[in-house]
Structure 1
């Protein structure tokens, strides 16, 4: 594998000089670059051989466009040559990837332990025979759930329901909310009466009740119909698609730096909590009963927006007061990226949430839940596959690597290093970077405008760095858990060089 990344001595020498200049610009300690890589054989730095997308990618885009829309395709990847924190494209470019397949690679590309796990007989059987888990699971399925998903379950969460992706995880979690809420309204956990069963087939009450889920401005929870109703980040996700009349509340929009606006941000928490409760009461009075609320610990797609522990504690109290579900969507924030296994562990909640959904770096989708939200009859929460045992086998190995290599601690350390570097750049280039924020490596910053953000991302890519945008003018970092200080320094050096290029100095 290592040989696939060898370039000419001239190219390597030039890149080494460029990396040295980046280190000097970023004013970060030299010893940070001497850490051994957690993925043996990965490149030491990016290599840019062509424009990106290059000629081969452009040819493939034309080919694909004959059968499928390609407007979102950035370039074509050579997955065989990608390794660790570096993604290779079909034109010979090797890019430092701080976006990692939209936040979904826990150990980067081609981690050797995952490759070994992929060749096991157990993985072959799971892949070839992909079972309908709700009806025909393998004999080892209970043990695999315990050794993988339940071994990292949030405290107090005693059940897990596997699914295939984030959207379907949230969709089925909403159904669990509705079932429990309706049981409470009827005063019984028995199967619904015959009138309900008949009327639901006509999409009418009482079998199809007027129940809703509260979500928050700028949220992203998926693109299927129910989850799309709770998604409120970008119009392109929703326009022309029918949506349900469900309540929405504001998510706190803080002033930065946080330590200079404590009173203002506390008042913003109170405003948003009050608006959330008002929305619940308004919908309940109208008979559109709010069965639960769903919220991200850090709003991702909508702009990497953070809120205080006190805000989340307040929401949990409101949910309990109104006897509704309190659900936390950890699709992007889960799996150790914030310096804890689950981001909501930072909030000091009074007991567990009712439901916690996951996907992305967890490889499989699904949701944890308390006993209360276990379905009261077969097939009420069901689909053909209900997840993928091959992904759970991979996750089992990922969790083992996370423990062996202390990757959650690594995320906390590297995240602090990134924040220090970004704040240093902001001080040297006032007016360009703002709202620098993050937990662990779940880090973001703003540019003065969306146009400047997009230009900066393009220049970063020309320097061999893949990054992602979010919100109106934010750049978000979503590196793998094997992202280390030396990778952070390469990123920071490229960022400062790109800013200088855009600024003309």
Structure 2
């Protein structure tokens, strides 16, 4: 950590000036982690709640900024950030103020069923928040509950869109045969259609999303799955300049495989879903040219492109949306979001992606106005402090520091990647789990992804 701090510019930025008194000067580790009090509390919690995935028993009142406090008084620099879902740190003063608003209080105690009883100002809340930062070309939003839910409902939109196209448009009603067969889970009412995803992808844990998740067997074991296709995500070699030809060949092979599956797979795909960076699957990157090629292939074959920005969205890559790095000629058909947005759902632009009848894309809550209000405050604060550009600058600094450490300790680093992608930086470590444990003892809370990436 000392090496990465050396040489950092101390020139003030709006972000650093505002938050300079918001955080402690550094981590404080007083006990082992978990400490004695945490162990007692975890034992008690385990009587009523499964604690096997628990990392830190957190004291949220004492957590502040980028530092997370545990029940034993340890204060850790938190670069894990609640599985990449906290955009402005703990107990952010601006967000705490927003939480005291009358609109927020109303949303908490009078939670509406948004599909049937939305607040009278719901359009203004959406336009001033979620839609204010919508991806270019996408001017409508479906609000959902979580990342898995966002992707699941995007898949449903894709299926209904495809059948609506095949049927002849939104004004053509369902046949009696379709209605009857749907109740028996049979075609044509329950059509044989699929979503194409990539190997090592992660899109969620619901039934549809789990069929497109390919990162770890433990997520999928014992759960029935759909017969849906998977293509190989390009496995790039690093440094990029030294392997340019091989990487270009890998990306072409992946695109060729996608095109082959789109035209030959036994259950026809109506959409391709892709992460800009395969985060949970190991922080796997691909070039902008690859994603432009993917967009071309989907348009050529009349299938939708769903970009899963649940992990990458809201500024972490130095752009508000990671797919902005690709410079697409035409936007994705849908962009899903959650995590750092503190809200969830998907953006779209084509009115045909709305089902032809009400209640087809529906649930009781359909999101949460409280989360939409919180996201509005987050987006406003990010703009006020120019945090997306600040993230890009910090990413450049971090990457340069890691390059230096890579040269000095080659046995600890492999495949350093993420240059120019803000703080979405990764490397592989042959002793990853030991590395994570040692770093936590030094006061840094960090998670792993894939088989070997910290």
Match of 2:270 among 278, 286, 291: 291
**2:8–2:397 contact (8 Å) kept in structure 1:** no
User: Runs ≥4 in structure 1, deviation > 2 angstroms?
Assistant: 25-28, 30-41
Distance across 1 between alignment mates of 2:124 and 2:229: 40
Distance across 2 between alignment mates of 1:41 and 1:260: 43
Residues 95 and 290 of structure 1, relative CA distance in 2, 3 Å threshold: same
Give runs of aligned pairs for residues 157-306 of structure 1, distance below 5 A.
Answer: 157-189=138-170, 190-283=172-265, 286=266, 288-306=267-285
Match of 2:452 among 458, 473, 496: 473
Other-structure match for 1:81: 62
Displacement of 1:182 after TM fit? 0.8
177-186 vs 94-103, which moves further: 177-186
Give runs of aligned pairs for residues 421-500 of structure 1, distance below 5 A.
Answer: 421-438=401-418, 439-448=421-430, 452-475=431-454
Other-structure match for 2:321: 342
Instruction: State the Cα deviation string for residues 275-316 of structure 1 (Å, max 9, x = none).
Output: 111112221xx3x22110100000000011011111111111
Q: Does 1:151 align with 2:132?
A: yes
Other-structure match for 1:479: none
Distance across 1 between alignment mates of 2:404 and 2:194: 45
Displacement of 1:33 after TM fit? 9.2
What SS is found at the alignment partner of 2:201?
Answer: coil
Displacement of 1:34 after TM fit? 7.7
26-35 vs 342-351, which moves further: 26-35
Give 1 or 2: higher helix fraction. Answer: 1
CA RMSD of aligned residues (A): 1.3
Displacement of 1:149 after TM fit? 0.6
For structure 2, which runs of at least 5 residues remain unmatched after alignment? none
Q: Does 1:28 align with 2:6?
A: yes
Instruction: State the Cα deviation string for residues 388-407 of structure 1 (Å, max 9, x = none).
Output: 10011111111111011000
What SS is found at the alignment partner of 2:329?
Answer: coil
Distance across 1 between alignment mates of 2:366 and 2:148: 13
Match of 1:90 among 71, 76, 85: 71
Other-structure match for 1:4: none
Q: Does 1:415 align with 2:395?
A: yes
Q: Does 1:406 align with 2:386?
A: yes
Match of 1:99 among 71, 80, 98: 80
Superposition TM-score, scaled by structure 1 size = 0.87
Distance across 1 between alignment mates of 2:210 and 2:10: 43
Distance across 1 between alignment mates of 2:64 and 2:372: 22
Distance across 2 between alignment mates of 1:80 and 1:158: 38
What SS is found at the alignment partner of 1:298?
Answer: coil
Displacement of 1:412 after TM fit? 0.1
Distance across 1 between alignment mates of 2:336 and 2:5: 40
**1:447–1:453 contact (8 Å) kept in structure 2:** yes
For structure 1, which runs of at least 5 residues remain unmatched after alignment? 1-21, 476-505
Distance across 2 between alignment mates of 1:137 and 1:184: 30
Residues 445 and 37 of structure 1, relative CA distance in 2, 3 Å threshold: farther
Distance across 2 between alignment mates of 1:110 and 1:67: 28
Other-structure match for 1:362: 341
Query: How many residue pairs align between the two structures?
Result: 447
**2:208–2:226 contact (8 Å) kept in structure 1:** yes
Distance across 2 between alignment mates of 1:404 and 1:180: 39
Residues 31 and 336 of structure 1, relative CA distance in 2, 3 Å threshold: closer
Residues 369 and 30 of structure 1, relative CA distance in 2, 3 Å threshold: closer
Superposition TM-score, scaled by structure 2 size = 0.96
**1:355–1:367 contact (8 Å) kept in structure 2:** yes
Q: Does 1:380 align with 2:360?
A: yes
